[in-house]
Structures are given as C-alpha cells and as structure tokens.
Amino acid sequence: MATGSAAMSLPAGGSATRREGRFGETGGRVALGLVLPLVVLTAWQLLGPVLFTEYQLPPPAKVLQSAWVYVVGDAAGGQYSGTFVTDLTASLQRVLSGFAVGSLVGVPLGLAIGFSRRVAQVVEPSISVLRSIPGIAWLPLAIIWFGFGHTSSVFLVALGSFFPVCISTIQGVRFIDPNLVLASLTLGASRRQAVTSVALPAAIPSVLNGLRLGLAYSWIYMILGEFTGVNKGLGAALMHARDTMRTDIVITLMIIIGLLGVITDWPVQRLFQRVFRTDVR
Amino acid sequence: MSALLSFQNITKEFVDKRSGRSVRALAGLDLDIHEREFVCVLGPSGCGKSTLLAAAAGNDTVTSGHVRFDGQVVERQHHSRGMVFQVGAVFPWLTAFENVCYGPKIRGIDRKVYEPKAREVLAAVGLSDFADHYPRQLSGGMRQRVAIARCLANEPRLLLMDEPFGALDAQTRLTLQDLLLQVRESYDGTVLFVTHDVDEAILLGDRVVVMSPRPGRVVLDIPIELPRPRDSSVETSDAFVTIKRRLRDAIAHAD
C-alpha cells in the first residue's frame, strides 16, 4: 500500500485534515493552555491563606517542593521520598491488566451484539441495567469477592473499561453506513467478506474511541480500587497521605493523576491515527 | 430481441416507520432494458425509482413481480451488476486506487490482471494523480469519480446509477456528466441511470423513461435521438429543447 507519497495540498472540497488557527504553532497553543492554570495558581497563592488553614490548603511552593521530593526523592528519605516510580509502576500494572481484560471482553461482545440481533436481544437489556450501577457501588462486592487490594482494583478497572468499550463497539457496528456494505456486495463480496473487509473496518473508528474512553475510565477505577487498601500505587498513596494529614501530597497526587491521564491518552490517539489512517475524534 | 434487464409487473410495498402505514412505492411496473442501452429513469422524489435500482442490484426485494437479468430472476447482488450510489459509498479507509481494486481483488482475480485495469479506469475518470489519496482528501466530485471507476474495474454488464451527481454542485455535475459521456464511448455495457434532473436525463440517455409520483409506473418512454458523441453543449440545441418540453409535459400530467 503506497501511502503518503502524494502531496497533501488539494483543491477545494477536500475536508481539512489539520486545523490551523491563529496560533498555529504548538508553542502558541501550549502558552494559551497555561493561562488558566497560572490564574488559578496566583489565586491559590494570594487567597489560599485568607480562606483556608495551611493544613487545608498548603501554599503552591510547599506543594511543588513536596512534588519534587515525591518524584525525585531527597536525602532525608522520608515516607514519600522518591516513591513515585514504585507507585506509578504498581498503578500502571493494574490499569493495563484491568483494561486488557475489559477490552478483550468488551470488543468481541460489542461486535456480537452489534452484528447479531439475537445476541443483542439476549444480552443488551442486562448490560443496560449493569451499566447504570455506578462504579463505586461495585466496591463492597469487589471487596467481598476479591478482598482488599490488588485483585479488587484490577476487577474494578476491568469493569469500568468494559462498558465504554462495549457500548462504543455496538454503536460502531450499528452506525455503519449501509451503503458501504451494499457497495461491497454489489462489487462481488460474499456476506462474510462484506463483514470482514467492510463492516469491521467501518466500525473501527468507533471501537478505537471506545478503547480511548475505556482507558480514561481505567484511571478512574484504578484509583477507586486502590482505595480498598493496597500498599503501593497512586490511589493508595493518595488515601495514605490523607490519613497522615499530608495535604501537600494529596494535591501533588491529584495533579499527577490528571497529567498521567492526558499523557497516556496522547500516544494512544496518535498511534490509532497512524495505524488505522482514520480520524479518531 | 430479449431484454438484458427486465422488470415484470413489479409491485413494491413497505411499511412507513413513522406512520406505521403500508406505502405502495411501485404498482405493477413493466420495463425492459436492452443490451448496451443507456436508459435514464426520470421521476419525482419518492416515485420508487431508487427502489427499482435496488431491486435490479439485488439490494432490495420486491413485493410481487420479477426482476430478470439475462433471463435469470435477480435474487442477490452480483458483480456483473455494479452500482454507484448518490453519496458516501467509497471506502474511507482505502485510497482511491485501493477502492478501485476492491472488486476484482475480493473476487480473487490475479493482481497482475486487475492492477493495470484499475490504473486504466482511474485514468479514464481523470484521477491518475490522486491514486494514493484517501476519500477524505478528495472533493465530493472526485469521490464520485472513484465510485464510478470502482464499478468499471469490475467490468459489469450493467451499471446502476442512483442519482450519482445529485449531491454535487452544478459546476461539478456538468463536469461529471461530460466525463460520463466520454467514459460511455469506451464502456460498452448497459447503464440504468436514475435522476430527477430533466436536462441530465436527456443529455446522457439513449432512452428516457418518465415515472409517475408514488405509486410509480411508467408514463412515458421515449428514445433520445441526439447524435453521439455528445457533450453538454447539446443542451442549447433546438432538438434538445423540443425533447425537454415533451418530458416536462409528461411529468406535469403524470398524476
């Protein structure tokens, strides 16, 4: 498959592949994105001491210092000194194994429901009910089944990622342009070939969106799962920091978790676009 | 002479999803299309002309009557009956060239045979320079060119075209009509072309069939005796205007 050899400049009508705003360069966009955080930071610095005690809201400099110690470590070697990497590794492992289970069940089941009316009639009502149970409501049962800790959080991550992956896959199959399938059949494809060569690729963008969403949910459920009490992990550290009255570490971890969510999404999105040459929005 | 494609007493009824009522789209329609004819079916929206095409392609079934292709009752799709849709049916994850190769490739034809053929038809629709472009990088008109080339690569005996230029702007439509007339000179298959544009029907067709509003039936069936090869300049000729007047009268008195 020869791709990318031809120039991208095209006459009118071709949908724009890239939007070029006034701040076309990455630097400009990053700068704009930093405006709001800087405003919040300033307000925190100035108004924080007026509205809260230092225990409730430590100043930005203190949090920054604690973040540095947590991530890089210091000579004192305190409780949160340089433990970031071990926490991250433990959490990442839970996210990835739970997400793997959730998607490995979610995608095939979604395809089955999307393609087969019979399977849909049997399974879909139950999925709708189960999906309406908030993730946190699963926590007690997870603890009863799997005890406190690792397995419980993997279970919750699998559960949390399963629903968006499965639902998106179903939608992806249901909203395939019927003309694409008809075109395939009139061009000589058998029914089976029409499914494998047209219906599946046509559903891929939606499946990928589901996987992206599932990964985002995995982070949320991983934190929830680690609240059941594991030794290492970002969620565990978060709860532990509250118990030890370390609000600076609590805030540090919240920011780290947010940033990690964005950071992990970005390569996934790029990879999907590259591999499948489809717009993932 | 027996017909290549034959609609015999076709009735089509379907249940309208919104009202829940049964709608009769076609009522006992008869129509014969002969080998190498270019037949344009002209009719208002909802007259069942697309249903006719869908039945010929094997994409839809009829309530009663038979659609015969080469003497056989049409039951399902076959690559000898290619179809060009109004919008959207090019595969967005394949390049223009891969789209054109799709038919022969999926039918298991040798790559050495279909690749040169694909290049040839892509050149015939003026897209040689865009072979490696994806549909989203192409304009609406170019996507329809890909759709036409993709059918031609299969060398179908019958080409079914469902308002293929209906979603395009006037300028692009003219360009593509001229292109189709050019392609017509080298493609010796049969074409059944559905449109609601009177000028388009006269310009392209050897024959124009006018259908009544729903339930659709044939109200006029006339040969278009304009010289070939044609191009859009014929639209200002006296002969063209005379035919146009006749067709408009037929449409006006169809119900």
CB contact under 8 A, A187 and B141: no
Minimum mean pLDDT among A62-71, A191-200, B215-224: which range?
Answer: A62-71
Domain boundaries, chain B: 36-60+70-80+157-255, 90-155
What is the architecture of the domain spanning B36-60+70-80+157-255? 3-Layer(aba) Sandwich (3.40)
Residue of A nearest to B158 (CA): A186
Domain spans, chain A: 88-276
Contact B139 A10 (CB under 8 A): yes
Residue B217 tokens, joined: 């039936």
Which residues from chain A sit within 8 angstroms of residue B138, using beta carbons?
10, 13-14
A211 in helix, strand or coil?
A: helix
- A-contacting residues of B 127-166, CB under 8 Å? 129-134, 136-142, 147, 150-151, 154, 160
- Model confidence band, residue A7 (pLDDT cutoffs 50, 70, 90): very low
Q: What phi and psi, each to the nearest 5 degrees, are found at residue B31?
A: -160, 130
Q: How many CB atoms lie within 10 A of CB A30?
A: 10
Max mean pLDDT among A146-155, A243-252, B205-214 falls in: B205-214
Q: What is the pLDDT of residue A82?
A: 77
CA-angle at A103, arms to A99 and A105, nearest 5°: 125
Q: Shortest Cα distance from B95 to chain A (angstroms)? A: 8
Q: What is the dihedral of CA A16, A22, A27, A29, to 10 degrees?
A: -80
3-state DSSP call for residue B39? strand
In the predicted model, residues of chain B with pLDDT beneath 50 are: none
Contact map slice: B 16-55 vs A, CB within 8 A = none
Contact pairs from chain A to chain B, CB under 8 Å: 105
In Å, what is the CA distance from B203 to each residue of A2, B40, B197, B211, B238?
38, 10, 10, 18, 13
Rounded distance between C-alpha atoms, residue B97 and residue A159, angstroms? 42
| Residue A135 DSSP symbol | G
Q: In what order do the strands lie in the sheet with B72-73?
A: B22-33, B5-15, B64-69, B72-73
Q: Is the pLDDT of residue A28 over 80?
A: no
Q: Where are the alpha helices (DSSP H) in chain A?
A: 26-51, 60-72, 84-115, 117-131, 139-146, 150-174, 178-186, 191-194, 200-226, 234-243, 247-276
Q: What is the dihedral of CA B234, B237, B239, B241, to 10 degrees?
A: 100
Q: Do A13 and B141 touch (CB under 8 A)?
A: yes
Mean pLDDT of chain A: 83
- Chain A CA closest to residue B60: A182
B132 and A177 within 8 Å at the Cβ level: the answer is no
Q: What one-letter code names the amino acid at B43? A: G
Mean of the pLDDT values across residues A197-203? 91
Tens digits of residue pLDDT in B84-120: 998 868 999 999 999 999 999 999 999 999 999 999 9
Separation between Cα atoms, residue B69 and residue B3, nearest integer Å: 8
pLDDT at site A24: 60
Confidence band for A77, pLDDT divided at 50, 70 and 90 = low
The pLDDT-based confidence of A196 (bands split at 50, 70, 90) is very high
According to the model, what pLDDT value does residue A9 have? Answer: 37
User: What is the pLDDT at residue B73?
Assistant: 93
**Do residue A188 and residue B106 have CB atoms under 8 angstroms apart?**
yes
DSSP B4: S
Q: Which of B93, B136, B141 shows the shortest C-beta gap to A201? A: B93
Residue A212 contacts residue A268 (beta carbons within 8 Å): yes
Q: Does A273 touch chain B (CB under 8 A)?
A: no
Report the topology of domain A88-276: MetI-like fold (1.10.3720)
CB contact under 8 A, B138 and A10: yes
Q: Does A3 sit within 8 Å of B106, measured CB to CB?
A: no
Which residues in chain A have Cβ-Cβ distances shorter than 8 Å to B154?
187-188
Nearest CB to B83 within list A2, A15, A186? A186
Q: Give the tens place of pLDDT for each residue, A208-245.
A: 889 989 998 998 898 888 887 777 888 888 888 888 88
Are the Cβ atoms of B106 and A193 closer than 8 angstroms? Answer: yes
Strand order, beta sheet including B207-211: B81-84, B158-162, B190-195, B38-42, B207-211, B218-223
Return residues 116-135 of A near B (CB < 8 Å). none
Q: CB–CB of B79 and A187 under 8 A? A: yes
Residue A279 reports pLDDT greater than 50: no
User: Is the Cβ pair A182, B106 closer than 8 Å?
Assistant: no
Q: Which amino acid is at B174?
A: L
Residues of A in contact with B83 (CB under 8 A): 182-183, 186
CB contact under 8 A, B136 and A17: yes
Each residue's pLDDT tens digit, A79-105: 777 788 888 998 999 999 999 999 999
Q: What is the DSSP string of B52-101?
A: HHHHHHTSS--SEEEEEETTEEP-S--TTEEEE-SS--S-TTS-HHHHHH
pTM, entire model = 0.79
CB contact under 8 A, B106 and A12: no
Mean pLDDT of A44-54: 84
Whole-complex ipTM: 0.92
Specify the pairing of strand B218-223 against strand B207-211: antiparallel
Residues A180-194 have a mean pLDDT of 94
Gap between the Cα atoms of B63 and B7, Å rounded: 13
What's the pLDDT at A233?
86
Given pLDDT bands bounded at 50, 70 and 90, which one contains residue A73? confident
